[in-house]
């Protein structure tokens, strides 16, 4: 492990906005994000596989009356988002270090209002399909965690993953589907507020178009 990574892991250990193994809230936070962490009843938005947290932090700046949680397994990446949020004085941001397969251990059914997945690994090979973050097993989890009418968002530069995801959200009976294969020329771009992740900026600079979809959980 490099010294830089060690330093970031130490930062996470000292940061109150990072919830990870070894901290008391790690085992008690499920169902209690509003009362025990944020101290308000504001909506909760997740960014899954958040990386360095650019989207989490950017949205939190834009919407101070909304609670944002970035989820990622990589502690050195989370540390960057955590530190950025602290430098900006953001109290509506948290980072959860865990595998996305374990979301139901940290969030109660209907506890979340929106979920963002931004530029996930497309897992292109057929044997990798179950690892795609829009595979039905993940979409089923999202439907459990999202409030009725809660929103799911996906951004990706990968057309194959996007086509796959479109098909799967329809199969899983998400509603109010809106999508575009060229976000920056679409009216849907207005909701993104110009926020770009590092990878999104790289793709954009290379001339790739950005695919985006949003849809809502079915009424149960």
| Beta-bridge partners for 18 | 95
Give the Cα separation of 54 and 68 in Å (integer).
12
Is residue 3 scored above 90 in pLDDT?
A: no
pLDDT classification of 125: cutoffs 50, 70, 90: very high
Q: Please say if 109 is a catalytic residue.
A: no
Of residues 36, 99, 121, 182, which has the active-site annotation? 121
**Are 1-36+46-99 and 109-220 the same fold in CATH?**
yes
> Is CATH 3.40.50.150 the classification given to domain 109-220?
yes
Reported CATH class of domain 1-36+46-99: alpha beta
Beta strands in 73-180 (DSSP E): 93-97, 112-118, 146-156, 175-180
Closest CA to 103 of 34, 51, 29: 29
pLDDT single digits (tens) 30-57: 999 999 999 999 999 999 999 999 999 9
pLDDT single digits (tens) 74-93: 998 999 999 999 999 999 99
> What ranges do the domains of the chain cover?
1-36+46-99, 109-220
Give yes or no for a contact between 213 and 188, defined as CB atoms under 8 angstroms apart.
Answer: no
Region 132-148 average pLDDT: 97
Residue 144: alpha-carbon gap to chain centroid = 16
Is residue 220 scored above 70 in pLDDT?
A: no
């Amino acid at each position: 492990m490099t010294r830089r990574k060690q330093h970031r892991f130490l930062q996470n250990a000292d940061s109150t906005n990072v919830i990870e193994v070894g901290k008391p809230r790690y085992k008690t936070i499920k169902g209690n994000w509003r009362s025990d962490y944020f101290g308000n009843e504001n909506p909760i938005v997740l960014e899954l596989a958040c990386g360095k947290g650019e989207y989490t932090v950017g949205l939190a700046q834009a919407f101070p009356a909304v609670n944002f949680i970035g989820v990622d397994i990589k502690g050195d990446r989370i540390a960057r988002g955590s530190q950025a949020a602290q430098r900006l004085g953001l109290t509506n941001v948290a980072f959860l270090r865990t595998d996305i397969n374990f979301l139901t251990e940290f969030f109660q059914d209907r506890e979340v209002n929106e979920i963002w997945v931004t530029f996930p690994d497309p897992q292109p090979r057929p044997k990798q399909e179950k690892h795609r973050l829009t595979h039905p097993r993940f979409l089923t989890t999202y439907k459990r965690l999202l409030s009725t009418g809660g929103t799911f968002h996906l951004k990706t530069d990968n057309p194959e993953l996007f086509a796959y995801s479109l098909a799967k959200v329809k199969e899983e009976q998400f509603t109010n589907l809106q999508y575009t294969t060229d976000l920056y020329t679409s009216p849907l771009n207005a909701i993104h507020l110009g926020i770009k992740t590092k990878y999104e900026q790289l793709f954009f600079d290379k001339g790739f178009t950005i695919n985006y979809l949003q849809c809502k959980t079915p009424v149960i």
